[in-house]
């Protein structure tokens, strides 16, 4: 007889995939108690279906399975009705990761879905958002171009080695959220640790890399011509998202801190001992993690799962009712498909 397929009745936990890029540091260790190998760690991929870099289930009856395989097997039972197109393609549409920018990242831009499809990049465009978890005093980001900078002005600034004059810098502090739509010139400057939620894409065009050398001792490749094509020069507006309160009840405050057509990100603040309940009814899967405090997540009829600091779990779309319980004052992040 065929083996029964395990039910999607509990959160899926994954082993983080660590990336050791030259701009990283060791703050994931100090801030969240991560056990890191020697050297620097730049990123921890928490939930990923990206080709060649999939998350692997850590515990439970599906332990050892890769996330794309589960999408192929369970489809909308895992992703939800809102993820039907991704289910048809057997892809997980989002990537959630932590970044430790001990040194500045390159100044870059990502294409949108239309440009990526027209130019056959092999993957979608890339909208992303950042939620700031730590920022040194005076730390900031690059978000967009300085007022009056158009395509010609940016090309001149690069040619004259004064590209920094063409960029818009924004100070950030813990708790800030930043929406980075495709087409937005951006960069994370030194002294920032953040959570990133993005489309599952890595199509990136570098404009400036601070004149540093790569691991091979040579400057990293820039992609100015492609970057100039995909930049949205008309995009202006505040970098920092003004949180929108969607629920305020006894001991719980729920806010939308980023939203686009690819994902919604909420922040749930809960007092010690408070409970937040919801039901996964098949519309969308959800990704949860506690970025401050200690909490547990209990599905109906299943054991509670303690949320480790800044470790993210995937809740299948058909999991049913669940409760988040805050053991201490807690800040949790919730991601779902719109």
Helix (H, G, I), strand (E, B) or coil at 152: helix
Task: Name the DSSP class of 158.
Answer: H
> Which of the following is catalytic: 206, 226, 269, 334?
206
Contacts of residues 249-257 at CB distance under 8 Å and 24 or more positions apart, as own/partner, are 250/274, 251/275, 251/326, 252/276, 257/129, 257/131, 257/177
d(CA 265, CA 267): 7
CB 336 within 8 A of CB 285: yes
Helix (H, G, I), strand (E, B) or coil at 276: strand
Does the annotation mark 206 as catalytic? Answer: yes
Q: Which has the closest alpha carbon to 14: 89, 96, 75?
A: 96
Looking only at the bridges linking them, the beta strands covering 186-188 and 264-270 are: unpaired
Catalytic residues: 206
């Amino acid at each position: 007889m065929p083996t029964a397929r395990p039910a999607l009745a509990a959160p899926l936990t994954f082993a983080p995939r660590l990336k050791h890029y030259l701009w990283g540091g060791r703050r994931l260790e100090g801030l969240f108690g991560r056990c890191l190998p020697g050297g620097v760690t730049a990123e921890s991929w928490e939930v990923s279906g990206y080709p060649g870099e999939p998350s692997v289930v850590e515990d439970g009856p599906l332990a050892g399975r890769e996330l794309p395989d589960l999408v192929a097997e369970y489809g909308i039972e895992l992703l939800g009705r809102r993820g039907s197109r991704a289910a048809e393609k057997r892809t997980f549409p989002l990537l959630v990761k932590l970044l430790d920018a001990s040194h500045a990242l390159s100044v870059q831009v990502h294409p949108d879905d239309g440009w990526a499809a027209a130019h056959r990049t092999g993957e979608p465009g890339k909208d992303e958002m950042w939620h700031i978890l730590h920022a040194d005093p005076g730390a900031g980001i690059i978000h967009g171009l300085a007022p009056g900078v158009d395509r010609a002005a940016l090309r001149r600034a690069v040619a004259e080695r004064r590209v920094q004059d063409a960029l818009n810098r924004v100070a950030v502090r813990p708790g800030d959220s930043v929406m980075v739509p495709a087409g937005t010139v951006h960069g994370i400057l030194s002294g920032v640790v953040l959570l990133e939620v993005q489309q599952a894409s890595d199509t990136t065009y570098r404009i400036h890399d601070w004149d540093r050398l790569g691991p091979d001792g040579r400057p990293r490749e820039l992609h100015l011509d492609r970057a100039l094509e995909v930049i949205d020069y008309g995009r202006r507006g505040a970098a920092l998202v003004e949180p929108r309160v969607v629920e305020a009840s006894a001991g719980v405050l729920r806010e939308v801190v980023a939203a686009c057509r690819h994902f919604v990100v909420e922040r749930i603040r809960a007092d010690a001992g408070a409970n937040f309940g919801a039901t996964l009814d098949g519309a969308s899967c959800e990704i949860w993690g506690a970025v401050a405090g200690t909490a547990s997540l209990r599905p109906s009829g299943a054991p509670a799962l303690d949320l480790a600091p800044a470790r993210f779990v995937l809740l299948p779309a058909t999991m049913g009712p669940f409760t988040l319980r805050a053991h201490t004052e807690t800040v949790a992040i919730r991601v779902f498909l719109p």
